[in-house]
């Protein structure tokens, strides 16, 4: 099992794409670690960052675990110069083989958010690769019919 990592900065209210797709889709991925940090920790911040298996049309701070396309969510906050609130990070054990999308929203300071993401690579059989791809296609179709 190989682990790959990504780090970067997302502008407030935006989305970034992590390109994972391969020609045959026989490499799967699972989130091992997801961490966030404000761009400027001396400002007030209320940051919600989410990872999705499909591209999002809107970026917000609402976390809905009934959404099957939501793979992980993280929140951290610091209000009125007090101490930083507890970081909350929840991630799913879903195995995916397509691109993923990270969103970030800061309700207090509209500042950028840094992220660190570790993915575990998993070799998929033909059947597993097909099922992972079909699940992503169904999620996209469901979103289009809402």
* Cα–Cα dist 98/141, whole Å: 15
User: Would you state the CATH architecture of domain 2-144?
Assistant: Sandwich (2.60)
Domain ranges of the chain: 2-144
What does the pLDDT look like over 21-72, one tens digit per residue? 777 778 989 999 999 999 888 778 899 999 999 999 999 999 999 999 999 9
pLDDT more than 90, % of the chain? 52
What does the pLDDT look like over 101-121, one tens digit per residue? 999 999 988 899 999 999 999
């Amino acid at each position: 099992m190989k682990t790959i990592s990504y780090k970067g900065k997302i502008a407030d209210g935006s989305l970034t794409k992590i390109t994972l797709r391969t020609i045959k889709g026989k490499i799967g991925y699972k989130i091992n670690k997801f961490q966030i940090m404000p761009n400027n920790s001396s400002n007030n911040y209320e940051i919600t960052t989410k990872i999705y298996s499909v591209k999002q049309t809107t970026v917000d701070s609402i976390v809905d675990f009934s959404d099957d396309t939501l793979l992980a969510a993280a929140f951290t906050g610091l209000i009125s110069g007090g101490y930083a609130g507890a970081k909350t990070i929840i991630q799913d054990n879903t195995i995916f083989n397509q691109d993923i999308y990270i969103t970030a929203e800061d309700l207090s300071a509209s500042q950028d958010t840094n992220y660190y993401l570790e993915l575990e690579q998993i070799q998929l059989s033909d059947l597993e690769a097909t099922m992972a791809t079909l699940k992503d296609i169904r999620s996209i179709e469901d979103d289009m019919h809402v």
